[in-house]
Amino acid sequence: ILNVEQSPQSLHVQEGDSTNFTCSFPSSNFYALHWYRWETAKSPEALFVMTLNGDEKKKGRISATLNTKEGYSYLYIKGSQPEDSATYLCAFTGNYGQNFVFGPGTRLSVLP
């Protein structure tokens, strides 16, 4: 069974702070890494799909980087806002098809 880890488990920041967290995954048989944003009582919502080593994706104040050789991805949020409060999930797919292996998530709370 593949192991995908995320750190930290939870994070509290003040409004306006920038923050980042990590997703670690197996570096062998890598195909893609997905990031999802999951607000309480809602469905997980796709943020990014990353495939290439060195890839960087950006959506507004949120960006992500990918290192497939060492098996990690960083998610950055610049100038956190209370509406950024959510759980951020990463999901790994390997060379075996569409099945995702999710990490346990990082729960972000942005305090006004």
Partner 1 sequence: DAEITQSPRHKITETGRQVTLACHQTWNHNNMFWYRQDLGHGLRLIHYSYGVHDTNKGEVSDGYSVSRSNTEDLPLTLESAASSQTSVYFCASSESTVGTDTQYFGPGTRLTVL
Residues that bind partner 1 (CB under 8 A): 1, 4, 6, 31-32, 34, 42-46, 49, 51, 89, 91, 93-95, 97-105
Distance between CA atoms of 39 and 9, rounded to whole angstroms?
15
Query: Is residue 4 a contact partner of residue 102, using CB atoms and an 8 Å limit?
Result: yes
Closest to partner 1 by CB, 3 or 18: 3
Closest to partner 1 by CB, 42 or 112: 42
CB of 1 to partner 1, least distance (A): 6
CB of 49 to partner 1, least distance (A): 5
CB of 36 to partner 1, least distance (A): 8
What long-range pairs does 99-103 form, CB within 8 A, spacing at least 24?
A: 100/34, 101/2, 101/4, 101/25, 102/4, 103/4, 103/5, 103/6, 103/23, 103/24, 103/25
Closest to partner 1 by CB, 98 or 112: 98
